[in-house]
Amino acid sequence: MRVIFNEELGQVADDMDRMASSVRDAIHSAGHALLDPDVDVAQEVIDGDARIDKLESSIIEQCVRLLAKQNPVATDLRVVVSTLSLSATFERMGDLARHIAEISRRAYPQSALPEQVLPLYRQMQDFLDTMADRLVAMLADRDAKIAEQIIVSDDELDRLHEQSFNYALSDQWEGSKQELIDMVLVARFMERLGDHGVSAARRVVYIVSGFDPTKDPKALDLDLD
Amino acid sequence: MRVIFNEELGQVADDMDRMASSVRDAIHSAGHALLDPDVDVAQEVIDGDARIDKLESSIIEQCVRLLAKQNPVATDLRVVVSTLSLSATFERMGDLARHIAEISRRAYPQSALPEQVLPLYRQMQDFLDTMADRLVAMLADRDAKIAEQIIVSDDELDRLHEQSFNYALSDQWEGSKQELIDMVLVARFMERLGDHGVSAARRVVYIVSGFDPTKDPKALDLDLD
């Protein structure tokens, strides 16, 4: 029974890794298509989202089967329930990458963002690229240390996000209404990607430690020297 | 065992009803504070979100305990897994209502939205008020008919959402940049509230029928005469 459980759980974990890798690729490509307008790359992200959705369905099915047949308890149950939540989080991240790609596709061959804010959005994208890489590594190794890095570093993205709004409201802003709308939406989608990354990281901390950092973030011992 | 299961599941269902009612109130109040600026009501929504979050945590805990101790299968398992997903959806709806309330609070005593778009946003809010009422009724009676109404009517909200963007881009638009930003964000939050309502409705269809309409929405037999 135990052997079967571990085998089946291993398969779910493999699918979860595949899902995380697909989401990482989507985030990288969506950023690329946004900052160096490329309609083919944008289209790839949009088309690829269906594969991410399919992985989520498959993971849910496997988890439900595991719950029914193996009646996991304690840590095993924590892993299965967290996997359900993780797959929903990654599915949503795929949607957000697709939304960014859709904005780039609509603006093409123009850039969706005015020249003057590109450096700021490049910083936000760099941040998300790093986060996406960390998410994949975190899941592959179930590494709570990487999870903590993701949680702590999100403040930086929030700061950049606020900066983009302040810039848009300042006299320096020279873009059109359409550019303002796109900028606000892209910033929002990027901020949400960061939030979902943090939520995934918290799940992994929960799996590893049994401690749910959503309940009292201050109680999370952040040892990041 | 079965009696205990039904009793415990009944408690979870009660909490789920409470959560849906709290979210409905938050949606109603956030709309009120937005359309007839009222900082006290906005603050109530913002403060009340913590209660919604707490209900989610309690529901998750109860579901995990049920899974561990009762090993539900078939329909019972479907209910428990769907409840986990429903509670996450409602938690997110609470966040979105809070975001709308935060925008109203920041703009107070001014309206966050310019006069000229208020009728359109009132229409969107009327739509969300109806949806929120339906969500509560749907959950209380596990009524797949109401769930189908929610799913079908969401197109209307998407249409209004698009209209608000077209209006902002037209020559008729007279608002400031801050108003444009707030309008885009509020429209986005409202659209997401609608999406989450649809997702909750699909879950209930799944519980009742065993058929997952997310997989092939066209296969859902919509008998709404």
B166–A contact, CB cutoff 8 A: no
Q: How high is the pLDDT of residue B211?
A: 64
- Average of pLDDT values for A91-95? 98
Q: d(Cα A17, Cα A133) in Å, to the nearest integer?
A: 12
Share of chain A above pLDDT 70, in %: 93
Nearest-by-CA chain A residue for B69: A73
Q: d(Cα A210, Cα A79) in Å, to the nearest integer?
A: 10
Cβ distance of A185 and B181 shorter than 8 Å: no
B38-51 per-position pLDDT tens digit: 999 999 999 999 99
Q: How high is the pLDDT of residue A215?
A: 54
Give the count of alpha carbons within 13 A of A156, CB side only.
15
Q: What is the mean pLDDT of chain A?
A: 92
Q: d(Cα A126, Cα A157) in Å, to the nearest integer?
A: 10
Nearest CB to B67: which of A67, A185, A188? A67
Using a CB-CB cut-off of 8 Å, the residues of chain B touching A84 are 81, 84-85
Q: d(Cα A105, Cα B132) in Å, to the nearest integer?
A: 34
- Average of pLDDT values for A167-180? 94
Q: How high is the pLDDT of residue B126?
A: 98
B163–A contact, CB cutoff 8 A: no
ipTM of the complex: 0.90
Using a CB-CB cut-off of 8 Å, the residues of chain B touching A77 are 64, 67-68
Angle between helices A2-35 and A39-70 (to 10 degrees): 160
Asked if pLDDT for residue A221 goes beyond 70, the answer is no
- Straight-line distance from the first to the last Cα atom of chain A, in angstroms, rounded to the nearest whole number: 42
Asked if pLDDT for residue A46 goes beyond 80, the answer is yes
A13–B contact, CB cutoff 8 A: no
Nearest-by-CA chain B residue for A171: B177
Instruction: Identify the residue among B181, B198, B202, B211 best suited for mutation to test binding to A, counting A beta carbons within 10 A and taking the highest.
Output: B181
Q: Is residue A183 within 8 Å of residue A117, measured between CB atoms?
A: yes
Using a CB-CB cut-off of 8 Å, the residues of chain B touching A74 are 68
Using a CB-CB cut-off of 8 Å, the residues of chain A touching B165 are 181
Least reliable range by pLDDT among A82-91, A200-209, B46-55 = A200-209
Sites in chain B below the pLDDT cut of 70: 1, 211-225
- Sign of the alpha-carbon dihedral angle for B215, B217, B219, B223: positive
CATH class of segment(s) A2-219: mainly alpha
pLDDT class for A210, splitting at 50, 70, 90?
confident
Q: How high is the pLDDT of residue A163?
A: 95
pLDDT class for A209, splitting at 50, 70, 90?
confident
Nearest-by-CA chain B residue for A173: B177
